[in-house]
Amino acid sequence: MSGHDSKYFSTTKKGEIPELKEELNSQYKDKRKDAVKKVIAAMTVGKDESSLFTDVLNCMQTENLELKKLVYLYLINYAKSQPDLAILADSQDPNPLIRALAVRTMGCIRVDKITEYLCDTLQRCLKDDDPYVRKTAAICVAKLYDINAELVEDRGFLEALKDLISDNNPMVVANAVAALAEIQDNSSKPIFDLTTSTLTKLLTALNECTEWGQVFILDALSKYKASCIDMRKYQYTEMLCCEGHDCLLAYLNTGAQKKRVRGYTRKTETWNMSNSHKILVTFNEFDKPIGDEGNELTQYLGTLVRMPNHVGVDYDDWRMVPIQKKEDMYTMVKAKFVIHPEETPEIKSWIFYSMGKKWRTWKASLKARFYDESLSADEMMALQAAMDNRVNSVQFEKLVTQWCNREYKKVSLKALNV
Q: What are the boundaries of each domain within the chain?
A: 3-197, 231-416
**How many CB atoms within 10 Å of residue 317?**
9
Whether pLDDT at 187 is above 70 = yes
Determine contact, residues 144/152, Cβ cutoff 8 Å.
Answer: yes
53 contact partners, CB below 8 Å, separation of at least 6: 74, 78, 81, 82, 85
Residues 195-207: what's their mean pLDDT? 79
pLDDT single digits (tens) 235-267: 332 333 333 334 433 332 333 333 333 444 555
pLDDT single digits (tens) 298-313: 989 998 998 889 899 9
Looking at every residue in the chain, the average pLDDT score rounds to 75
Calpha distance 85→66 (Å, rounded): 21
Calpha distance 123→179 (Å, rounded): 15
pLDDT single digits (tens) 72-122: 777 777 665 665 444 444 566 777 877 777 777 777 666 666 666 677 788
Determine contact, residues 270/296, Cβ cutoff 8 Å.
Answer: yes
Cβ density class 359-384: b for 16+ within 10 Å, e for less: bebbbebbeebbeeeebeeeebbebb
- Look at residue 191 in the predicted model and tell me its pLDDT: 81
Radius of gyration of the chain (CA): 26
Burial class (CB within 10 angstroms; exposed 0-12, middle 13-18, buried 19+) of 50: middle
Beta bridge partners of 242: 245
- Look at residue 83 in the predicted model and tell me its pLDDT: 54
Determine contact, residues 174/213, Cβ cutoff 8 Å.
Answer: yes
Q: How far is residue 55 CA from its own chain's centroid?
A: 36
Calpha distance 192→203 (Å, rounded): 16
- Look at residue 240 in the predicted model and tell me its pLDDT: 37
- Look at residue 113 in the predicted model and tell me its pLDDT: 60
- Look at residue 318 in the predicted model and tell me its pLDDT: 92
Calpha distance 157→126 (Å, rounded): 9
pTM of this prediction? 0.47
Amino acid in position 244: G
Q: Nearest to residue 216, comparing CAs of 276, 174, 268, 169?
A: 174
413 contact partners, CB below 8 Å, separation of at least 6: none
- Residue 230 confidence class, pLDDT cut points 50, 70, 90: very low
Determine contact, residues 192/216, Cβ cutoff 8 Å.
Answer: no
CATH of domain 3-197: 1.25.10.10
- Residue 144 confidence class, pLDDT cut points 50, 70, 90: confident
Q: Nearest to residue 203, comparing CAs of 234, 181, 224, 227?
A: 224
Lowest mean pLDDT segment, chosen from 118-132, 156-170, 371-385: 371-385
**Which of 137-151, 194-208, 244-258 ranks highest by mean pLDDT?**
137-151
